[in-house]
Structure 1
Amino acid sequence: MPSPTSPRACGAACAQERRPAVATSTAEPNPLRDLSPEQLKAHVAGALTRARDRSVVLTDAVDDDDLTKQHSKLMSPLVWDLAHIGSQEELWLVRDVGGREPLRPDIDDLYDAFQHPRADRPSLPLLGPAEARAYVREVRDKALDVLDAAPLHGRRLTENAFAFGMITQHEQQHDETMLATHQLRRGDPVLHAPPPPAAPRRLPREVVVPGGPFRMGTSAEPWALDNERPAHEVDVAGFAIDTTPVTCGDYLAFIDAGGYHERRWWSEDGWDYRNAHDITAPLFWRRENGQWWRRRFGVVEPVPEDEPVVHVSYHEARAYAAWAGRRLPTEAEWEKAARHDPATGVTRRFPWGDDEPTAAHANLGQRHLRPAPAGAYPAGASPLGVHQLIGDVWEWTSTDFAGYPGFTAFPYREYSEVFFGPEYKVLRGGSFGTDAAAIRGTFRNWDYPIRRQIFAGFRCARDLRPGESG
């Protein structure tokens, strides 16, 4: 997220019979609206500090050799991510918002994600671990000075502390990327967390979402990014959607039925990719002595059948859905299931309402280092009873990444606009590695359909059959 003067980027129950008198509500909550300037600055400082505390945990957990090593060509060395976080903070908060003199203009190009593909970054003259840590500390001190002095109004970039929120989200997004790098590293476990809560009861397989219009996206969420904007009305036909993400147990049935070897379930691109890479199971799974095992942050354990499946590509998700006689939901279907209350016509910030996520609502922020069992967060369900739409696993949708009607790039095209097109599929909902500051019901992630190292799973949907209420 570089300065606009030097554009660089890093580069997401049954149907109710009665319909509300008003199909959609245009009133959007702004959670920062009622804060005083002092309260807003305290909120921002807390969000920045929480992100930095997490960055420290992820980088202090390993020695300098692990920090500078490239654990996969798909990922940067952890030390690159750390200094890149500081570089973006310097560009936007210290230089742009604060108008301060550059601290390290000599490293701008080193940490330009567009100039240097991940596979090439280990060969760059990067800051070493000690120098990177000193740099991000110095930048943070300057950024907090800017926060103390800056009027959080008068510019779109500073209204509602948007630039600070953007940088908070940027750091948390890189923290999730670093967490994915930890999953790819070999060696003894260095990250630890308690297990997630158990599921209190079994849930029905699917929920019917009634057809009709709803308000998608946002025009009021203060820290929403450009691709989430503007709010617009979308008419979605009735459909059925899985109550929870597809579990490992569900996915094992697909494997046992020979799903990876049946051409008929796969798209042409998916089948070519499966064959070229000899993919026969989710990433990090292996079968030994009749038992399926997975590797999770250095721990090898039996595949837990009640957890959402994770580390599957779009191609694998689509093949499973075809095998199951279903399909992946569109992005609009996913968001309607997550945000729309058909009884009132209100579009919520989150499935449970407008309040920020808590530990009772969703599995976020690497609190548990794994997806929670299906049905583990009843307090986080949508009005229609769709569960775990936020947290646990990013969910593949069938939608290509594109701008909404009326899209305007802000604060620079390279955040999302340059990625619009059929090469990328939209993912929704966040994962157990996503922080609450970097997720909401409108948040859009995107990636290549071949990606498996990300914390991605999916749920299925289907069209309604003749006579079904919806």
Structure 2
Amino acid sequence: MTDVRSDDRPTESLRDRIATELGRARDRSVRLTEAVDDDDLVRQHSPIMSPLVWDLAHIGNQEELWLLRDVGGRTPVRQDIDELYDAFKHPRKDRPALPLLGPTEARRYVGTVRDKVFDLLDGVRFEGRRLVTDGFAFGMIAQHEQQHDETMLATHQLRAGPPVLSAPPPPPSVRPVGAEVLVPAGRFTMGTSTDPWALDNERPGHPVDLPAYVIDAAPVTNAAYLAFVDDGGYADPRWWSGPGWQHRSSAGLTAPMHWRRDGTGWGCTRFGRYAPLVPDEPVVHVGYHEAEAYAAWAGKRLPTEAEWEKAARWDPVSGRSRRYPWGDEDPTPEHANLGQRHLAPAPVGAYPAGASPLGVHQLIGDVWEWTASPFLGYPGFAAFPYREYSEVFFGSDYRVLRGGSFGTDPVACRGTFRNWDLPIRRQIFSGFRCARDARPDETA
């Protein structure tokens, strides 16, 4: 691009960033869908997951609805399929029976939509409507596609058959990490009112006062969780809540999802490959009830969402809340295990550059971390741009997860980002860390 006036440079920089984020998301969607044949694309690999081809066309349909029709006012590409790809009209278990676009047609559709979006992007002005200010709608769609890419990655973990995905192993641990960190009592700012692409449930920023507490310096590892399993934790109702024990019993849970005993030891299956457990790797594929039971067994509890966020964002020197534990700059491969660069969590101590000022490690990436908090709106919450993104899920049914996983893209992960799911869900890349109230001698 030539002869750009100085006052146009921020706009052109934003266009470039949007194009880059949309392109990265699409490259990942292509990798995940082209890794398997058409039969695998249309097959439902689990009743709690959509066929991969549904996710692909849904990505394109959301992009068409918000960017082409709403932002651009363009003529619909495929208005006839809107209901098929409305996530609230059809439960996942019913989607294979719908007259969905086939693989070839779905690829053609998402490609047509993307071409028209790039045409729109060339001339759009990022002002006048909240939806387009700072490129919000484009950022929302980039995040939406990456979220579905992580969902498709979880579907790959559930599929049967030979491995089709590969990636280099995560980096090794480079330094030891202490057991716990004391977080002093006091006020911090939770959420954000300034991050331009933050979603509605992250807003507004608001002060929260917390008493002193202690939080694990790293996520709970396979070795630590195995001690709970070997101690009969799954067979002892003392450690489980009432709903947790009921679910454990009815579902017949005896270990994390994808674990199995191999002779005298344990291993796990990951994307079609079986291997022994890595002891210092964060445990993954545990539900909220399992995390809560482990914490009780360990004499601790799960952190609240506010406790997790203060440990991740609060700077004790300046008193401000950072965007990430390490600061405000975007994640790099030295900070965190994000973006499907690897297909596993990294061992504890692999990312010292990503630690918080208090010395809490791996809060971003590796595994989503269950918190004790139900999914609710913050004081002053306002749904934007539609209620179905967050508000319809508010209530006690869902628990909040924080921090992202190895399958989460950086564009859809920051210190304020909130994920949520049902306490029984284990197909997501979920782990946890524990917390406890500070003792008087620790705060004297």
What TM-score, normalized to structure 2? 0.98
**1:395 matched residue in structure 2:** 369
User: Which whole-Å CA distance do the structure 2 matches of 1:156 and 1:216 have between them?
Assistant: 22
Q: Which residue of 1 aligns with 2:390?
A: 416
Cross-structure match for 2:4: none
Which residue identity lines up with residue 387 of structure 2 in the other structure?
R
Map Cα deviations across residues 101-143 of structure 1 (whole Å, 9 max, x no partner): 0000000000000000000000000000000000000000011
1:367 maps to: 341
2:175–2:352 CA contact under 8 A, matched in 1: no
Q: 1:57 aligns with which of 21, 28, 31?
A: 31
Give 1:200 deviation, angstroms: 1.0
CA-CA distance at 1:35 after TM superposition: 6.2
RMSD of aligned Cα (Å): 1.0
Alignment of structure 1 residues 110-189 onto 2, 5 Å: 110-189=84-163
Q: Which residue of 1 aligns with 2:305?
A: 331
Which of residues 349, 353, 357 in structure 2 aligns to 1:379? 353
Counterpart in the other structure of 2:166: 192
Hey, which bits of structure 1, 4+ residues long, moved more than 6 A?
none
Displacement, 1:201? Answer: 2.0
Superposition map of 1:295-314 within 5 A:
295-314=269-288
Encode CA deviations 1:60-103: one digit per residue, 9 max, x unaligned: 00000000000000100000000000000000000000100000
Query: 1:147-186, CA deviations, whole angstroms, 9 ceiling, x for partnerless residues?
Result: 1111011100000000000000000000000000000001
Instruction: Return the structure number with greater relative CO, CA threshold 8 A, min gap 6.
Output: 1
Match of 1:231 among 198, 201, 205: 205
Q: Secondary structure at the match of 1:203?
A: coil
Q: Percent identity?
A: 70
Deviations 1:328-366 (A, max 9, x none): 000000000000011210210000000000000000011
AA matched with 1:53: D
Amino acid at match of 1:407: F
Shift of the 390–49 alpha-carbon distance from structure 1 to 2, 3 Å rule, reads: same
For structure 2, list consecutive stretches of 5 or more residues without a partner in the other structure. 1-6
Which residue of 2 is the match for residue 6 of structure 1?
A: none
Match of residue 240 from structure 1: 214
Measure, in 1, the Cα distance between the counterparts of 2:348 and 2:9: 36
1:422 and 1:247 map into 2 onto residues whose CA distance is: 28
Residue 256 of structure 2 is matched in structure 1 by 282
- State which of 213, 221, 239 in structure 2 corresponds to 1:265: 239
SS at 1:119's partner residue? helix
1:43-122 map, 5 Å: 43-122=17-96
User: Quick one: which amino acid aligns to residue 231 of structure 1?
Assistant: G
| 1:430-449 pair list within 5 angstroms | 430-449=404-423
SS of the residue aligned with 1:96? helix
Q: Which residue type is aligned with residue 282 of structure 2?
A: P
Q: Distance in 2 between matches of 1:353 and 1:386?
A: 13
* Equivalent pair of 2:163/2:271 in contact (CA under 8 Å): yes
Amino acid across the alignment from 2:36: V
Question: In the TM superposition, what is the alpha-carbon distance from 1:425 to its structure 2 partner?
Answer: 0.3
Whether 2:437 is the aligned partner of 1:463: answer yes
1:285-334 CA distance string (max 9 Å, x none) = 11121110100000000011110000000000000000000000000000
The corresponding residue for 2:3 is none
Q: How far apart, CA to CA, are the structure 2 residues paired with 1:37 and 1:412?
A: 26
Name the SS of the counterpart of 1:125 in structure 2.
coil
Distance 1:151 1:275 in 2: 56
- Aligned to 1:446, the other structure's residue is in SS state strand
1:34–1:274 CA distance, 2 compared to 1 (3 A): farther
Give the secondary-structure state (helix, strand or coil) at the position aligned to 2:295: helix
Aligned length in residues:
438
- Distance in 2 (CA, whole Å) between partners of 1:187 and 1:358 is 33
> Which of 422, 429, 433 is the equivalent residue of 2:403?
429
3-state SS of paired residue (2:253): coil
Q: Distance in 1 between matches of 2:175 and 2:411?
A: 29
Classify the secondary structure of the residue corresponding to 2:25: helix
Amino acid of the structure 2 residue aligned with 1:456: S
Distance in 2 of aligned mates of 1:34 and 1:323:
59
* Between 319-328 and 194-203, the greater mean CA deviation after superposition: 194-203
Q: Which residue of 2 aligns with 1:15?
A: none
Alignment gaps of 5+ in structure 1: 1-32
C-alpha distance in 2 between matches for 1:35 and 1:292: 56
- Report the TM-score when normalising by structure 1: 0.92
Counterpart amino acid of 1:356? D
1:461 deviates by 0.3
Query: Given residue 240 of structure 1, which amino acid in structure 2 is its aligned partner?
Result: V
1:468 partner letter = E
Deviation at 1:34, TM superposition (A): 11
